[in-house]
Amino acid sequence: MDDAIREYQYVDVSVAVATENGLITPIVTDADLKGLTAISTSAKELAGRAREGKLMPHEYQGGTFSVSNLGMKGISQFTAVINPPQACILAVGGTQKVVVPVEGEIEEGGDKFKVAQVMKVTLSCDHRVVDGAVGADWLKE
């Protein structure tokens, strides 16, 4: 690995998948050019082939950003470890029902609180490449 910082003009998202042989991160290529349905379809297909051990090396080597989801395992929040040479990984927890205040004007006698589904995410950044404040601003968006 060299000491250069690479700036990519594309977004290839590595998706963490647990297999019998350990964790592997197949890549959804050109994610920035795809809609949510296409990304979901691609990620599911890649995850299935990863669990079967049928990925080709180019399908799991590289990537520009990673996502790890433990929400389906009942984990509400966690911190994921960055996959070098990438600079960031997004850890996605499961949703939980939380009581939150109602925003805006409340009608007389109306509820001041409601139950909402809330999901927590954590962004790990290599601060040599991505300033934590920049990462925080990205999460806020």
Determine the Cα–Cα distance for residues 17 and 48; give it in Å rounded to an integer. Answer: 9
Task: Judge whether 28 and 42 are in contact, CB under 8 Å.
Answer: yes
Q: Which of 57, 4, 64, 3 is nearest to 28 (CA)?
A: 64
Region of 63 (left: φ > 0; alpha: ψ -120 to 50; beta: rest) is: left
The residue annotated as part of the active site, out of 32, 111, 127, 137, is 127
> Is the bond preceding residue 101 a cis peptide, omega within 30 degrees?
no
Residue type at 15 in one-letter notation: V
Active site residue 127: yes
Determine the Cα–Cα distance for residues 63 and 15; give it in Å rounded to an integer. Answer: 9
The residue annotated as part of the active site, out of 32, 111, 131, 137, is 131
Catalytic center residues: 127, 131
